C-alpha cells in the first residue's frame, strides 16, 4: 500500500506537535471537525462516542469498522490538519482497522485495552494488539502513525485503588515496548499521580472534565496531551435539546442568538 506524501507529512506534523503540549477539543463529524480546525486547533482528534452517535450507533464499538472508517474519511476530507481517530478496541480485526483508517487519511489512533464486558485485556495480550497495530501501520506504508495507547484501569476502577498506578505503569512500559507513542489514562486527574506517570516511558494523555484541573495545571503536572472525550459533542447536543424545548415550549428561540452564522459555517466547506 502506498501512502500519499501529504499523509506522511501530516503524521510527522502530529509527532512534532506531540513533542510539546497538545490540547484536543474532540470532533465527531466533518462539520464539527471543520469548526474546530477553523477555531485554531492544529490537530483534530475524534471521540468514539460522538462519532458513533453521529451515525446512529451507541458508543463502545456499537458502530462497525466500515461505518467508522467512512466517518474518518469524511472528517479527513473536511480539514487540512492532521486527524487522529479513536479506534476504540480495534473493531475485532486490528490490522483491517488500521489499514482502513490509514487509507482514509488518518495519521493517529487511540487503541484501548478495555473489552465490551468492562474487563481489560491482560498486559501481554494488549501489548500484542498494539504490536499488531504498529506492524499494520508499517505494512500500510505509514510507520509514522501515532498510536495513543489507552488504558481504562482508572476509568473502570480496576483492582484495588492502591495498586492502580503500578498497574498503569506496568502497562505503559509494555505498551511502549510494543510500539505505542503515548499512554492515555481517562479517569485519572489526580495531579500528583499524573506527575508520577509522566516520569515514565510514554508521554501522558489525560481527559479533562468539568470541575477537574485546568489545562495549565495538567501541563504543570507533565501531561503532554489533553482531550475532552465526548464533552464537546455532549455540549452541542445539549444546545440542540435546549433550543428544541424552548421553541416547543415558550415558542421563542433566544437559544439561537449566539449561534455561528450560516455564511460562516457554509463557507467552511467546498461546493
Instruction: Give mean pLDDT, residues 250-254.
Output: 96
Compute the distance between CA of residue 71 and CA of residue 134 in angstroms, rounded to an integer. Answer: 22
What DSSP character marks residue 267? T
| pLDDT at 116 exceeding the cut of 90 | no
Residue 1 has pLDDT above 80, yes or no: no
Distance in angstroms (rounded) separating the CA atoms of residues 84 and 102: 10
pLDDT at position 219 over 90? yes
Distance from C-alpha of 205 to C-alpha of 227, rounded to nearest angstrom: 7
User: What is the pLDDT confidence band of residue 93, given thresholds at 50, 70 and 90?
Assistant: very high
Percent of the chain with pLDDT over 70: 100
**Which pLDDT value is given to residue 47?**
98
Lowest mean pLDDT among 27-31, 82-86, 114-118, 125-129: 114-118
Task: State the pLDDT confidence band at 196, using cuts at 50, 70 and 90.
Answer: very high
pTM: 0.96
β-strands 44-45, 22-24 pairing: unpaired
Q: Which of 104, 114, 195, 102 is nearest to 149 (CA)?
A: 114
Whether the predicted pLDDT of 262 surpasses 90: yes
Q: Are 87 and 63 in contact (CB under 8 A)?
A: no
Residue 162: the pLDDT is 96
DSSP 8-62: HHHHHHHHHHHTS-EEE--B-SHHHHHHHHHTT-SSEEB-HHHHHHHTT--TTT-
pLDDT for residue 146? 98
pLDDT > 80? residue 59: yes
Q: Which cell is 69 given?
A: 472508517
Distance CA 268, CA 56 (A): 24
**Per-position DSSP letters for 168-209, written without gaps between them:** HHHHHHHHHHHT-SEEE-TT---HHHHHHHHTSSS-EEEE--
DSSP state of 161: G
- First CA to last CA distance, the chain: 30
Using the CB atoms, write b or e for 238-263: b if 16+ within 10 Å.
Answer: eeeeebeeeeeeeeeeebeeeeeeee
Domains and CATH numbers, the chain: 5-230 (3.20.20.60)
Amino acid at each position: 500500500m502506498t501512502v500519499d506524501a501529504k499523509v506522511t507529512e501530516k503524521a510527522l506534523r502530529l509527532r512534532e506537535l506531540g513533542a510539546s503540549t497538545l490540547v484536543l477539543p474532540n470532533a465527531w463529524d466533518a462539520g464539527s471537525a471543520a469548526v474546530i480546525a477553523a477555531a485554531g486547533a492544529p490537530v483534530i482528534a475524534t471521540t468514539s462516542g460522538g462519532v458513533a452517535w453521529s451515525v446512529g450507533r451507541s458508543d463502545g464499538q456499537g458502530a462497525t469498522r466500515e461505518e467508522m472508517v467512512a466517518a474518518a474519511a469524511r472528517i479527513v476530507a473536511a480539514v487540512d490538519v492532521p486527524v487522529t481517530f479513536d479506534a476504540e478496541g480495534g473493531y475485532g480485526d486490528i490490522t483491517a482497522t488500521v489499514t482502513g483508517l490509514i487509507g482514509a487519511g488518518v495519521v493517529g489512533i487511540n487503541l484501548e485495552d478495555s473489552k465490551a464486558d468492562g474487563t481489560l485485556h491482560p498486559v501481554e495480550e494488549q501489548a500484542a494488539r498494539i504490536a499488531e497495530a504498529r506492524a499494520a501501520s508499517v505494512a500500510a506504508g505509514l510507520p509514522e502513525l501515532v498510536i495513543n495507547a489507552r488504558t481504562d484501569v482508572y476509568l473502570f476502577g480496576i483492582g484495588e485503588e492502591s495498586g492502580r498506578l503500578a498497574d498503569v505503569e506496568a502497562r505503559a512500559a509494555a505498551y511502549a515496548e510494543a510500539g505505542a507513542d503515548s499512554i492515555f489514562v481517562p479517569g485519572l486527574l489526580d495531579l500528583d499521580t499524573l506527575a508520577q506517570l509522566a516520569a515514565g516511558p510514554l508521554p501522558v494523555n489525560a481527559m479533562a472534565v468539568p470541575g477537574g484541573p485546568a489545562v495549565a495545571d495538567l501541563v504543570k503536572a507533565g501531561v503532554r496531551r489533553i482531550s475532552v472525550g465526548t464533552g464537546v459533542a455532549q455540549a452541542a447536543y445539549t444546545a440542540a435539546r435546549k433550543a428544541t424545548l424552548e421553541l416547543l415550549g415558550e415558542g421563542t428561540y433566544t437559544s439561537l442568538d449566539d449561534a455561528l452564522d450560516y455564511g460562516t459555517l457554509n463557507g467552511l466547506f467546498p461546493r
